[in-house]
Structure 1
Amino acid sequence: MKQCLPLLALLVAAPVYAAQPELPPIEVPLSTPDQMTGSEEAVPAGDLAFAAFQRGEYMTAMNEALKRVGKKEDPAPAMTLIGVIYENGLGFNKDPAKAVEWYKLGADNGDHNSMVALALLKLEGSGTPKDPKGAADLFQQAADKGDPIAMYNVGLLELQGSVRPYDVKAATANFRKAADAGYADAQYALAMSLRQSNTPEDRKEATRLLGLATNQNHPDAAVEYAIAVFNGDGTEKDESRAAKLFLRAALKGNVIAMNRLARIYSAGRGFDEDRIRAAAWHLVARANGRSDGLLDEELTKLTPEERARADGLATQFRRQLSAALDASAADRQ
Structure 2
Amino acid sequence: MSEPVIKLSGVRKSYRINADDGSNKRLFRKRETEEFVVFDNVNLEVQEGEVLGIIGRNGAGKSTFLKIISEIIEPDCGTVEIKGKIASILELSMGFHNDLTGKENIILRSELYGIPRKVALERLDEIVEYSDLGKFIDNPVRTYSSGMKARLAFSVMIFVDADIFLVDEALSTGDAAFATKASEHLKNLVRNGKTVLMTSHNIRTIRSSCNRAIWLSDKTIFMDGPVDEVCDAYSKSIMESFEETLKLAEGGSSAAQYRLAGFYRHGVNVEKNMAEYRRWIEEASKRGHIPAIAEYANLLMDEDPIGNRNVALGMYKEAAEGGNFDSRKNYAYLRGNADEHLALLKDVMRRVAESGTPMDVAMYARVVSYCANTEADRKLAYSLYSDAADAGNAEAMYRKGTLLRAGIGVERSIEGAIEAFESAAKSHHPKAMIALAELYEDGRMIDKDLEKSFSWYLASAESGNTKSQYQVATMLSEGIGVEKDDGAAEAWFCRNAESALNDVRLYAVEAAQRRKVCSKEEIVTLLESASDSGYNKATSKLADMKFNGWGVSKDVDAAMDLYELSATRSLRGKVDLAKRLLEDTTRDPDKSRTFELFEHAAANGDHYAMYAIACMYRDGVGVPEDRDLYKKYTHMAADAGNKDAIQVVQKWAFKEKKRQKKEAEANKAASDKTEGE
TM-score when normalising by structure 1:
0.46
TM-score when normalising by structure 2:
0.24
- Between Structure 1 and Structure 2, which shows a larger proportion of strand residues? 2
- Between Structure 1 and Structure 2, which shows a larger proportion of helix residues? 1
Say which one has the larger Rg: 2
